[in-house]
Chain A
Amino acid sequence: VIWMTQSPSLLSASTGDRVTISCRMSQGISSYLAWYQQKPGKAPELLIYAASTLQSGVPSRFSGSGSGTDFTLTISCLQSEDFATYYCQQYYSFPRTFGQGTKVEIK
């Protein structure tokens, strides 16, 4: 099983801020990492796959980087609609695993 450590669990930020979320794997996963955004009462939505590929329709203020064991999601200029919970997920091996989540709240 590949364990994932996502940090921070809670991030307080203001509109316009640049924020970063980290995801660290217990073993290398090449670039088989995805990032999802989830808003209350809604299904998760894919933001980034293959560590750095932006899903169609996702604003360019979202970006992903990393490979192997260390990955980062960056939101360059936080907008009001970005306040949500973010999850990383590895799809390199079974079982698929998710990070614990990062809630981005208004400061």
Chain B
Amino acid sequence: QVQLVQSGSELKKPGASVKVSCKASGYTFTSYAMNWVRQAPGQGLEWMGWINTNTGNPTYAQGFTGRFVFSLDTSVSTAYLQISSLKAEDTAVYYCAGGTIAVAGYDAFDIWGQGTMVTVSS
């Protein structure tokens, strides 16, 4: 079935880096964009940006430039989110999400990874 499976929880110290993976299955990976969404503890959903799975071109939302990098390995149908110079305020659940019902680039997110909890603490 169509699914996104993310890597497990991470506990990191401030200043470290983390790389979260999101493996797609059940559909052609390069057919649909991949989005990343952040949810801080007790807070709402925040769209971080997206990556074109055909070209590898990323687009970042305001507030997610510089330390955040989206990348792909299409050979294994996997998207990655890397965060460098981690801060306590990066503590959150990070989701990958895709829209397999997209029409002409308009995509509601019908598939979601299970989320990866990243905790930044000394």
Contacts A98-B47, A101-B44 given; indicate if A46 touches B109 (C-beta within 8 A).
yes
The number of residues on chain A lying at the interface, defined by a beta carbon within 8 Å of a beta carbon of chain B, is 25
Say whether B35 contacts A96, CB under 8 Å: yes
Select one of A55, A96, A101 contacting B47, CB under 8 A.
A96
User: CB distance A43 to B115 under 8 Å?
Assistant: yes
**What is the interface size of chain B, counting residues whose CB is below 8 A from a CB of the partner?**
23
Question: From B59, which residue of chain A is reached at the shortest CB distance?
Answer: A94
How far does the alpha carbon of A98 sit from the alpha carbon of B44 in the complex, in Å? 8
A59 located at the interface, meaning its Cβ lies under 8 Å from any Cβ of chain B in the complex: no
CA distance A84 to B95 in the complex (A): 18
For residues 25 through 71 of chain B, which have their beta carbon under 8 Å from a beta carbon of chain A?
Answer: 35, 44-47, 49-50, 59, 61-62
Give the segment of B12-20, B76-84, B100-108 that binds chain A: B100-108
Residues of B within 8 A of A43 (CB): 95, 112-115
B108 CB contact (under 8 Å) in A1, A34, A42, A100: A34
A16: interface (CB < 8 Å): no
Closest Cβ–Cβ distance, residue A13 to chain B (whole Å): 20
Residues of B within 8 A of A89 (CB): 45, 47, 108-109
Inter-chain CA distance A46–B112, complex, in Å, is: 9
Residues of A within 8 A of B50 (CB): 96
**How far is B50's CA from A42's CA once the two chains are assembled, in angstroms?**
21
Complex Cα gap A99–B50 (Å): 19
Given that A43-B112, A95-B61, A96-B35 are known contacts, is A32 also in contact with B46, CB under 8 Å in the complex? Answer: no
- Nearest Cβ in chain A — how far from B6, in angstroms? 9
Chain B residues with CB below 8 A from A95, complex form: 47, 49, 61-62
**Beta-carbon nearest neighbor of B112 in chain A:** A43
Q: Which of A67-107 contact B (CB under 8 A)?
A: 87, 89, 91-92, 94-101
Q: Within the assembled complex, what's the spacing in Å between the Cα atoms of A89 and B97? A: 13
Chain B interface (Cβ within 8 Å of chain A)? 35, 44-47, 49-50, 59, 61-62, 95, 97, 99, 101, 106-110, 112-115
| Chain A residues with a Cβ under 8 A of chain B | 1, 32, 34, 36, 38, 42-46, 49-50, 55, 87, 89, 91-92, 94-101
